[in-house]
Structure 1
């Protein structure tokens, strides 16, 4: 136990004494990373030069004395981060861009595993630089490798042929065998021939948990104890051999996805209860229009929190989401308050009932600090500064939860109309109604969200319920406008002819360029439909960056307890968010083009980043008297530009350039009433 005197020592004392006392390091690390002020001082320490291509991956060893980086130049470089110099350069035998590198645990930091675009995964001795093993089982690019800290000499790989493979260096393995014995998960068994595994991670607190990201919006959490290894997966060659002495054209690094040349036989080794799916609730839509909209969304990176209770996911073409693995969240569409015929005591129409929820104790007086934040946010809302208003509502809710704050934040989300905002507003409205079932504005805004999210039937029911519950407001312009829009939409639905199954199939066949083969051929298994139906929702959302140009863009925890979130962006910036409030704390210029990789030092307050540039950058807190030249001051405008980049429809861009920009048919509702957050209104769809 550390003495009381030791606990009271400041950072400088701990910094000096950690050099002679190993027990000080953890104390120093925890204390030095706990201040948000240090985060705001984060600045560039140095640039490590040595690669001759894009640096696609970074990895610290367990104690943080070595930083490994790998690049398009087929090299793995080991750096000393404190002396800021190269320790060793390994010229690998890869013939494709290296996408992932990992230190194998409990091997004295002597072995690294790599995966690359040549369909191979290798292991190397970091002392000699010699290759120890090579696996050529994959039939497409190997995108990610992960390890379990309690399992030495073993690593897992994810490749774009849809496989998750387990590699044990202690077991002899013949890649040329007709039957492979190292496939743990084969996504194409349930998803069809287009499925690709993009990333994976193992929970270091519960190493039986394996998270997998694919080229779709769903995140899969497997229990490895319930999965049996595939021993009858037949393989067939799809191109020329990949271990050639000359560079190969990129054309051969593709998967042959025809039924005749299917790489693997369909073999099911995943039981119903061995996997849990997660997906943001607004993406889980089953109609064809939603399929078109979200078909290009895939997971570029995922990682478990330091305590193993949360899973952080970076969705390409979308935002960053945090899923709680212990207190899992149901889709908001499933927990909307049910309407029942229940007469209120004051006689003003019927009411709603929230099953299994105790009667809330209403708080009418907010704490002084919370009230001040609310008033300031309301003022910013009036000034149409919706992002800044949401930031203040986030801070207020983190201090004190009440229905007014959730309802007001929902109003700001509805007005801002960024991707996912309507669903976030719906979540806030449902939460507000749990805290106060008679909150009029939250009820109306919930109805607006349901309508704008395409839930026409539900919006009709809740609008009728709103009229019965709050009859004095049915003459308001906003109510009349929403009612007219719902009636118009309902009439249009009635007049649309219903397509027969043959017509539907013909429609799909005529759109081969838009719908992937697995959607056309309905190859998804019944188990896949079951898992998707029971997918859980997100707990937090982080926005502001743009993730559309690369499929290796990371998002990671930062800080002693993982209290911050960091991620790169297509505009050459990287962002730092507070995990709980979801507020952005800092934006820094990290690359001339794109920031892909961000890895936090395991104990020191240091962050390593890389991207399209040929350098690795190290970041630490700067002294107060040094100006941070890389800091971007205006988060709101930066985030808005990135949001527009992600949401822009290419066809709409063409029309705008031709002077034919699309007009929104519902702008009249915003013109009718520029309401304060305390009022209710409708909005145009995002």
Structure 2
């Protein structure tokens, strides 16, 4: 490093030295865990440095906002935010001496918190419920502007709040302050640090959209077409006609505002050029060519035959589905393995003593036991469903009943989505179950209905007539709701078709490179970020931090950072080689270049990438179900296998 001597003799400014250090492969390969900040009692979903890099703001499932000095490891400020769901994003407002914060949560509520305000007044002041109950994913501030901030949500809007005109808004889904409106949920966004007029948004149709703030307004009635008038360019991962969209979990500008990094769920991370102008047809051709080149390079490195797109899709569309209970994190973390390796791991752990990890010390004492139980329940549930396939495919009548029942049960399952909202994914929770799943679930509901009918036989005629009327009334209500939802669905499809027509002539963002090898499938808030001008990084479901060479896409370092999932990666804002990360663990981890020599991760990288690829394939065939579903499943299977015993069982025994 010859520039170190230049610094010694005053020939290199300190700021330039830091830039060179972060761009150095030697420094990047030396990153190791320095210490942990154990300040929360829940998963840490958001971390953010202040402008000077002296404190870290964090938000968690415990609904607390905490400001910590990462160097002394002391908590400077701790406030209960007022949120009632998991905090997804929190930012310092610029030029407020780090005393004012904006945050959002899974229930769609936005809070403006003033640390100098008495705690007793936090309940209503600074509360914005404009997004309704739709999940709010991100809040973003505008450089050098202490009174303006943005939020994005599943309600398909980006809203711009001006704290000079209002400090709260308790109207549900109000029409005020809407800056951008789309027909798709907006899952992430960022503001260009060099040109705050540029806002990049990630939409649920797999598109990255770049807007010009000067062409948008919150003062006029907003329509889809008026928002598209402010659209500069956009990047779409796939052909819209194929409807195989992937959720974007993170989109971010680099520090110069010249590049955009977008992380796709169950897909790659893409580096985009906002200044390059291409037609959509040219972009799709370049994207296909880029993917083919990546596939050839990967398979040549692994000495494997090249798979085409058709083979990949056949693997992902396997008819065999695995059921996994929500809250089961056994498929995440450094110790997770594909199913074909699990038996080997069991044999190894039976003979090799397991060393304790200090990260477990700050977890609840029964958390590892809970994880083990959830994993075993998922395995048993899958085995029961698989073994019952032949028994549940015998009658067409049951199939018809199951199909109808499953459709009515979708809303019930969706009502549970905020229980573990920081870890939801769109790709698998909303996937239709396989045929066996439908049959068993439908049979359970049908038999419960029959049990209720048998109980009604013991009632008098008046109660029987009342029950009949109630049933008929419920049937009409379901028919009405079904018809209403059908009309809403058709209306939304028409609006989306209109939006697609308007987007045809919008130029595309340019594609620079893509990065893969990590695993982004289990959470909706997984971040990708720029480590420096030469490297990009991301969290992963395997519990590692991945660092890629920005130019050739090679993985140069993977760092163990979480027992389950790494969600947040935030480098120091002043280019010091310091990194903060967080995830499912209840702590914040600080990494520094502590290794005496650069670390060669080649063997670990190859092993981890291979496992991640296999586990992504498994995840695409996995359906997550509520934990209480296992009782219904077991009851249904017992009834199907032992119908002769059902007459001797009381309904109370089956439902308790």
Would you say same fold, with TM above 0.5? Answer: yes
Is 1:605 aligned to residue 577 of structure 2?
yes
Instruction: Say if 1:312 and 1:328 are closer, same or farther in 2 by CA, change over 3 A.
Output: farther
Whether contact under 8 Å (2:263, 2:269) holds in the other structure is: yes
Provide the secondary structure at the position in 2 that maps to 1:269.
Answer: helix
| TM-superposed deviation, 1:415 | 1.8
Instruction: Say if 1:176 and 1:299 are closer, same or farther in 2 by CA, change over 3 A.
Output: same
Distance 1:55 1:632 in 2: 30
Is 1:103 aligned to residue 92 of structure 2?
yes
TM-score (norm 2): 0.60
Distance 2:622 2:151 in 1: 39
Whether contact under 8 Å (2:7, 2:14) holds in the other structure is: no
Whether contact under 8 Å (1:555, 1:566) holds in the other structure is: yes
Q: How does 1:6-405 map to 2 (within 5 A)?
A: 9=5, 25-126=14-115, 130=119, 131=122, 133-139=126-132, 140-172=134-166, 175-176=169-170, 180-187=175-182, 191=183, 195-229=184-218, 232=221, 268-272=225-229, 274-280=231-237, 283=238, 285-287=239-241, 290-291=242-243, 294-295=244-245, 297-330=246-279, 387=298
| TM-superposed deviation, 1:609 | 0.5
Is 1:580 aligned to residue 551 of structure 2?
yes
| TM-superposed deviation, 1:566 | 0.6
The range that moved more, 585-594 or 144-153, is: 144-153
| TM-superposed deviation, 1:32 | 2.6
Distance 1:413 1:231 in 2: 57
Instruction: Say if 1:519 and 1:577 are closer, same or farther in 2 by CA, change over 3 A.
Output: farther
Deviation sequence 1:623-670 (CA, Å, 0-9, x none): 317989xx68432332232223334585699xxxxxxxxxxxxxxxxx
Please give the root-mean-square deviation of Cα atoms over the aligned residues, in Å.
3.8
Unaligned runs of 5+ in 1: 1-5, 18-22, 234-265, 338-380, 392-411, 423-508, 654-686
Distance 2:622 2:86 in 1: 35
Structure with the bigger RCO (C-alpha within 8 Å, sep 6+) is 2
Match of 1:555 in 2: 528
Match of 1:634 in 2: 604
Unaligned runs of 5+ in 2: 287-293, 314-406, 411-429, 433-485, 624-656
Distance 2:525 2:538 in 1: 11
| TM-superposed deviation, 1:141 | 1.9
Whether contact under 8 Å (1:300, 1:552) holds in the other structure is: yes
Distance 1:270 1:386 in 2: 40
| TM-superposed deviation, 1:94 | 1.0
Instruction: Say if 1:646 and 1:532 are closer, same or farther in 2 by CA, change over 3 A.
Output: farther
Provide the secondary structure at the position in 2 that maps to 1:79.
Answer: strand
| TM-superposed deviation, 1:87 | 1.9
Whether contact under 8 Å (1:279, 1:538) holds in the other structure is: no
Distance 2:266 2:95 in 1: 37
Distance 1:215 1:102 in 2: 23
| TM-superposed deviation, 1:38 | 0.7
Provide the secondary structure at the position in 2 that maps to 1:614.
Answer: coil
Deviation sequence 1:365-417 (CA, Å, 0-9, x none): xxxxxxxxxxxxxxxx9xx99538569xxxxxxxxxxxxxxxxxxxx998265
Provide the secondary structure at the position in 2 that maps to 1:152.
Answer: strand
Distance 2:546 2:3 in 1: 33
Whether contact under 8 Å (1:299, 1:316) holds in the other structure is: yes
Whether contact under 8 Å (1:11, 1:31) holds in the other structure is: no
Is 1:615 aligned to residue 595 of structure 2?
no
Deviation sequence 1:30-62 (CA, Å, 0-9, x none): 233231111111100001101000000010011
Distance 2:220 2:311 in 1: 42
**Of 515, 524, 530, which aligns to 2:502?**
530
**Of 615, 640, 646, which aligns to 2:616?**
646
Provide the secondary structure at the position in 1 that maps to 2:142.
Answer: coil
Distance 2:489 2:305 in 1: 36
Whether contact under 8 Å (2:526, 2:568) holds in the other structure is: yes
Structure holding more helix per residue: 2
Distance 2:58 2:584 in 1: 13
Distance 1:40 1:276 in 2: 36
Paired residues in the alignment total 440
| TM-superposed deviation, 1:268 | 4.8
| TM-superposed deviation, 1:151 | 2.2
| TM-superposed deviation, 1:82 | 1.8
TM-score (norm 1): 0.58
The range that moved more, 587-596 or 529-538, is: 529-538
| TM-superposed deviation, 1:129 | 7.0
Distance 1:156 1:326 in 2: 23
**Of 412, 415, 418, which aligns to 2:306?**
415
Instruction: Say if 1:26 and 1:386 are closer, same or farther in 2 by CA, change over 3 A.
Output: closer
| TM-superposed deviation, 1:596 | 0.4
Distance 1:100 1:652 in 2: 28
| TM-superposed deviation, 1:306 | 1.4
Distance 2:494 2:271 in 1: 30
Match of 1:249 in 2: none
| TM-superposed deviation, 1:214 | 2.1
Instruction: Say if 1:36 and 1:419 are closer, same or farther in 2 by CA, change over 3 A.
Output: farther
